[in-house]
């Protein structure tokens, strides 16, 4: 059962407990932000910017972070927080469920945190991710484990998505899996890349 996070609850996304369990800088560094100057990171389903703001700081002034979210309240909140914090290299835009306002092959790293369980059409969504990633570009998904031992934190188990289903949707969308694991007891991560085209492929 897919359940969208209500913008009315957005304060929960910045709780001290969340910062303790999912320190954003640590997660972002773990999956490669800041390794290359001038990178473009796209945070899909960025909410009020829990990852997008630290990502913009980590990526530095030569890099750029684009946040997108289907909820206009989240877009407004994230842009407001970026303005207040004086973060100039973050822009947050409204997107549609499976359509991003981003050019083909424009993104080096795609960040999908705590969104996979809300997707209505995972394969169509990940195809759109593939379109905006440059060949060789990377994608990281982190989400709640659908396992009774992980139930004590996060959404109800029947609102979560199985890790295997996410992996299958990524592969069906033409992405190549690279790494899988657990961030902590409650969450799994999967990283993938957009394969470089074969010679001669358009
Ligand atoms: C649980 S929140 C997580 C926010 C943020 N990634 C974080 O970890 O703090 C999920 C967010 O994804 C947004 N969302 C849901 N479906 C989406 C989609 N298909 N494309 C973009 N954003 C989406 C929701 O509006 C919400 O802001």
| HEC secondary structure over 135-163 | EEEEEEEEEECCCHHHCCCCCCHHHCCCH
**45 CB less than 6 Å from ligand 1?**
yes
Out of 48, 75, 78, 118, mutate this one to test ligand 1's pocket (max ligand atoms within 8 Å of CB): namely: 118
Q: Rounded CA gap, 190 and 200, in Å?
A: 30
Q: Rounded CA gap, 150 and 163, in Å?
A: 13
Residue 3's SS3 state is coil
More confident residue, 12 or 117: 117
Does residue 5 have a pLDDT over 90? no
| Closest of 133, 141, 147, 144 to residue 168, by C-alpha | 141
Domain count, the chain: 1
**77 CB less than 6 Å from ligand 1?**
no
Strand partners, 64: 40
In a domain, 135, yes or no: yes
In a domain, 105, yes or no: yes
Rg (the chain; Cα; Å): 16
Mean pLDDT computed over 90-95: 98
CA distances from 147 to 2, 109, 112 (A): 17, 28, 20
| Closest of 40, 23, 25, 141 to residue 90, by C-alpha | 40
**115 CB less than 6 Å from ligand 1?**
yes
What is the per-residue pLDDT across 153-182, written as a single tens digit (0 to 9) for each? 999 999 999 999 999 999 999 999 999 999
In a domain, 1, yes or no: no
What distance in angstroms lies between residue 48's CA and the mean position of ligand 1's atoms? 9
What pLDDT is attached to residue 18?
93
What is the per-residue pLDDT across 42-61, written as a single tens digit (0 to 9) for each? 999 999 999 999 999 999 88
In a domain, 200, yes or no: no
In a domain, 116, yes or no: yes
**Strands 107-113 and 90-94: what pairing?**
unpaired
Does residue 145 have a pLDDT over 90? yes
In a domain, 21, yes or no: yes
In a domain, 49, yes or no: yes
CATH number at residue 130: 3.40.50.150
Give the side-chain half-sphere CA count within 13 A for 22.
21
Nearest protein Cα to ligand 1, atom 9? 50
In a domain, 14, yes or no: yes
> Residue 32 belongs to what domain range?
7-193
Backbone angles phi, psi at 112, to 5 degrees: -130, 85
């Amino acid at each position: 059962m897919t359940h969208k996070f209500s913008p009315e609850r957005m304060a929960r996304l910045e709780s001290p407990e969340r910062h303790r369990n999912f320190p954003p800088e640590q997660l972002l560094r773990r999956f490669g932000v800041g390794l290359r100057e001038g990178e473009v990171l796209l945070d899909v389903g960025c909410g009020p910017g829990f990852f997008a703001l630290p990502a913009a700081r980590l990526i530095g002034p030569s890099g750029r972070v684009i946040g997108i979210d289907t909820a206009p309240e989240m877009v407004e909140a994230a842009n407001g927080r970026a303005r207040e914090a004086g973060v100039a290299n973050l822009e947050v835009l409204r997107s549609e469920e499976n359509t991003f306002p981003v050019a083909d092959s424009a993104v080096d790293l795609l960040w999908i945190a705590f969104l996979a369980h809300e997707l209505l059409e995972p394969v169509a969504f990940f195809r759109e991710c593939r379109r905006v990633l440059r060949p060789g570009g990377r994608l990281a998904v982190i989400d709640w484990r659908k396992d009774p031992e992980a139930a004590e934190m996060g959404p109800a188990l029947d609102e979560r998505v199985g890790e295997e289903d996410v992996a299958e949707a990524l592969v069906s969308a033409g992405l190549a899996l690279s790494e899988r694991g657990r961030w902590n007891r409650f969450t799994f991560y999967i990283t993938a890349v957009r394969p470089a085209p074969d010679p001669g492929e358009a």
